[in-house]
Amino acid sequence: MPRLISSIDEMKKIALEMRNAGKTIGFVPTMGYLHEGHLSLIKRARSENDIVIVSIFVNPIQFGINEDYDVYPRDIDRDLALCDGAAVDYVFQPTVKEMYPTGYQSYVEVTEITNKLCGASRPGHFKGVTTVVSKLFNITMAQRAYFGWKDAQQVMVIQRMVKDLNMNIEIIPCPILREADGLAMSSRNVNLTAEDRRSALVLSKSLFRAREMAANANSNPKELIAYIKDMITMEPSLTIDYVEAVNLDTLQDATDLKGRVLIALAVKVGKVRLIDNMIIGEM
Ligand code: AMP
Whether 281 is covered by a domain: the verdict is: no
**pTM of the entire predicted model:** 0.98
Using CA atoms, how far apart are residues 197 and 184, in angstroms rounded to an integer?
11
Does 179 map to a domain? no
Ligand 1 centre to CA of 37 (Å) is: 6
pLDDT tens track for 28-83:
999 999 999 999 999 999 999 999 999 999 999 999 999 999 999 999 999 999 99
Same domain, 219 and 105: no
Atom of ligand 1 nearest to the CA of 38: 8
Same domain, 78 and 148: yes
| 21 and 90 within one domain | yes
Summarize pLDDT for 260-282 with one digit per residue, the tens: 999 999 999 999 999 999 999 86
Listed residues 143, 174, 205: the one ending a domain: 174
φ and ψ of 81, to 5 deg: -65, -40
Tell me what pLDDT residue 205 has: 98
Q: What would the mean pLDDT of 100-127 be, rounded to a whole number?
A: 98
Q: Which of 147, 174, 201 delimits the end of a domain?
A: 174
Interstrand relation of 261-269 and 3-5 (parallel, antiparallel or unpaired): unpaired
- How large a percentage of the chain has pLDDT more than 90? 98
pLDDT at 281: 81
Domain range spanning residue 206? 187-276
**Ligand 1 atom at shortest distance from the alpha carbon of 28:** 7
Residue 85 belongs to domain with CATH number? 3.40.50.620
Q: Quick one: pLDDT at residue 282? A: 63
Q: Confidence class of residue 283 from pLDDT cuts 50, 70 and 90?
A: low
Do 112 and 250 share a domain, yes or no?
A: no
Distance of CA 171 from the midpoint of ligand 1 (Å) = 14
Distance from the alpha carbon of residue 12 to the mean position of ligand 1, in angstroms: 24
User: Based on the domain organization, do 148 and 204 belong to the same domain?
Assistant: no
In a domain, 218, yes or no: yes
153 in the same domain as 110: yes
- The answer to whether the CB of 172 falls within 8 A of the CB of 155 is no
pLDDT of residue 54: 99
pLDDT at 216: 82
Q: What is the pLDDT of residue 218?
A: 83
Nearest to 113 by CA among 277, 252, 263: 252
Which residue from 151, 181, 278 has its CB within 8 A of the most atoms of ligand 1, so it is best to mutate?
A: 151
Is residue 62 packed enough to be buried (19+ CB in 10 Å), middle (13-18) or exposed (0-12)? buried
Name the closest-CA residue to atom 5, ligand 1: 30
* Residue 181 belongs to some domain of the structure: no
Number of domains into which the chain is organized: 2
What is the pLDDT at residue 95?
98
Q: Kindly list the catalytic residues.
A: 38
209 and 158 in a common domain: no
For residue 11, CA distances in Å to 5, 46, 140 come to 6, 18, 7
pLDDT in tens, 138-190: 999 999 999 999 999 999 999 999 999 999 999 999 999 999 999 999 999 99
DSSP for 16-61, written as a single string: HHHHHTT--EEEEEE-SS--HHHHHHHHHHHHH-SEEEEEE---GG
54 and 99 in a single domain? The answer is yes
Check whether residue 144 and residue 66 sit in a common domain: yes
Same domain, 15 and 114: yes
- The sign of the torsion formed by the CA atoms of 27, 159, 185, 182 equals negative
61 & 120 share domain = yes
- Number of helices and strands in the chain (H, E): 10, 9
Query: Residues 150, 214: one domain?
Result: no
| Mean pLDDT value across the chain | 97
pLDDT in tens, 218-229: 899 999 999 999
